[in-house]
Chains A and B, each alone.
Chain A
Amino acid sequence: MNRKENFVAGFVKENPVFGLYLGLCSALAISTTLDNAIGMGLCVTLILTASNMIISAIRKITPDEIRIPVYIVVIASLVSVVEMLMAAFMQELYANLGVFISLIVVNCIILGRAEAFASKNGILDSALDGIGMGLGYTFSLLLIAFVREFLATASWTITNPFNNQVILHLGLEFLEPFKISMFSTSTGSFLTFACFAALFTVLRNKPAKKEEKKEAK
């Protein structure tokens, strides 16, 4: 696989959330609004890229037996740093994401990529893999949040996390009486996620089916 394929794989074919079912806890809980989804997604992308680079850089001097604890310490330190920065500069977002920021430590995507990719590849490749996978994760969060925020509030809002000014507000007021508040709760989250998971199964199987047909001919 060349670099470009590696980078794009994270979006549909190896989408970490809908395809591999990794990092579900945060994907389901944080996807209530677009703001939270963007914040969480970028946080994970940043930490994933940095941890991939560090782990790839120290891969030759890490003893094999204790590699998992080493990875965990690297990831936990990065998360602590990001958590403190967010508490200082983006209070609103920090309050909304709450405990989920510190739980990025146990997000399977990060440890999974460290083990599966960064421990075997060079720094540049690992960084690209981190960005690709991270954006794939952000993309999935955005998809769920896009549907959920609209169904629950009949509008989309994006705010600047640094000063809480609304950048974009798109509301369809005539739909206001028809909004379904269930979609801001856990039920709506599971339901939206299930629909996307089914959709992605179809998307992934499509190319395979074409090949089967060609062979049949």
Chain B
Amino acid sequence: MAELFSLAITAILINNIILTKFFGMCPFLGVSKKTSSAVGMGVAVIFVIMGASIITYFLYHLVLVPLEITYMQLITFILVIASFVQFTEMFIKKFSPALYKSLGIYLPLITTNCAVLYVAQDNITQSYNFIEMLVNSFSVPFGFLMILYIFSCIRERLDLATTPNAWKGNPIALVTAALMALAFSGFAGLV
């Protein structure tokens, strides 16, 4: 239990997926302008990563390993992720049109969110068992959601501040991200 807890803390705070590993930068800069869309995106990413990780985990251990075709890992995983995102899109469209509208273009873009592929691959390379895999694939996107939310709050205030012309928009947001990364590096000795 203690091991699972430290695994979760490591994934959320210490090795945060955005601030120390730089995965999922595109939505980090693209969807963080409004708090509401940031939270929607974060939740969608948690759902997709959980689902895709579980499917790829079983696919790897029940199909690829017995057939000895593990070199097909990359192609299989990316196809699973692409179709799972498509499935999620259709599901949300059917059951919650309002959420579908607010997520807009960013929903299909989760396919090219490197975080999804990274978590799926990481679960295999770290040779986690099933429970560890579940904890890891929840905590990593949870850290993503948390940082995305904090960052979008800062960015909403940043819009009201005066910034030099050249720094407007993404450059100043990146400076903010740098300061956040500095702050989060303080968690390094926690576990």
Q: Does A158 contact B (CB under 8 A)?
A: no
Chain B contact surface mostly = helix
Q: Does B166 contact A (CB under 8 A)?
A: yes
Pick the contact of A76: B75, B118, B122 (CB < 8 A): B75
Note all chain B residues with C-beta closer than 8 A to A191.
174-175, 178
CB of B23 to closest CB in A, whole Å: 5
Q: Does A99 contact B (CB under 8 A)?
A: yes
What 4 pairs between A and B have smallest CB-CB spacing?
A: A190-B178, A194-B174, A24-B25, A198-B171
CB of A72 to closest CB in B, whole Å: 6
CB of B169 to closest CB in A, whole Å: 8
CB of B21 to closest CB in A, whole Å: 7
Contact A106 B114 (CB under 8 A): yes
Q: What 18 new A-B contacts, CB under 8 Å, besides A24-B22, A187-B181?
A: A21-B29, A24-B29, A69-B79, A72-B79, A76-B74, A102-B121, A105-B117, A106-B114, A108-B26, A108-B112, A186-B19, A186-B22, A186-B181, A187-B178, A188-B178, A194-B167, A194-B178, A201-B167
Interface size on A, residues (CB 8 A): 42
Note all chain B residues with C-beta closer than 8 A to A187.
178-179, 181-182, 185
Contact A73 B121 (CB under 8 A): no
Pick the contact of A189: B22, B23, B74, B112 (CB < 8 A): B22
Of A3-11, A79-87, A126-134, the stretch lying at the interface with chain B is: A79-87
Interface size on B, residues (CB 8 A): 43
Note all chain A residues with C-beta closer than 8 A to B21.
29
A-B contact pairs, 21 of them (CB 8 A): A21-B26, A22-B26, A24-B22, A25-B23, A25-B26, A25-B114, A68-B82, A68-B111, A69-B82, A84-B71, A102-B121, A106-B78, A106-B113, A189-B178, A190-B174, A190-B177, A193-B174, A194-B175, A194-B177, A194-B178, A201-B168
Interface residues of A in 65-108 (CB under 8 A from B): 68-69, 72-73, 76-77, 79-80, 83-84, 99, 102-103, 105-108
Note all chain B residues with C-beta closer than 8 A to A77.
75
CB of B188 to closest CB in A, whole Å: 10
Pick the contact of A199: B20, B114, B166, B177 (CB < 8 A): B166
User: B residues within 8 Å of A by Cβ?
Assistant: 19-26, 29, 71-72, 74-75, 78-79, 82-83, 111-114, 116-118, 121-122, 125, 164-168, 170-172, 174-175, 177-179, 181-182, 185
Note all chain A residues with C-beta closer than 8 A to B71.
80, 84
User: A residues within 8 Å of B by Cβ?
Assistant: 21-22, 24-26, 28-29, 68-69, 72-73, 76-77, 79-80, 83-84, 99, 102-103, 105-108, 111, 182, 185-191, 193-195, 197-199, 201-202, 205
Note all chain A residues with C-beta closer than 8 A to B29.
21, 24
Chain A contact surface mostly = helix
CB of A116 to closest CB in B, whole Å: 14
Which residue of B has the minimal Cβ distance to A110? B112
A80–B121 alpha-carbon span in the complex (Å): 13
Given contacts A25-B114, A80-B74, contact A197 B171 (CB under 8 A): yes
Which residue of B has the minimal Cβ distance to A193? B174
Contact A25 B24 (CB under 8 A): yes
Pick the contact of B181: A24, A72, A76, A185 (CB < 8 A): A185
CB of B73 to closest CB in A, whole Å: 8
Contact B78 A99 (CB under 8 A): no
Which residue of A has the minimal Cβ distance to B19? A186
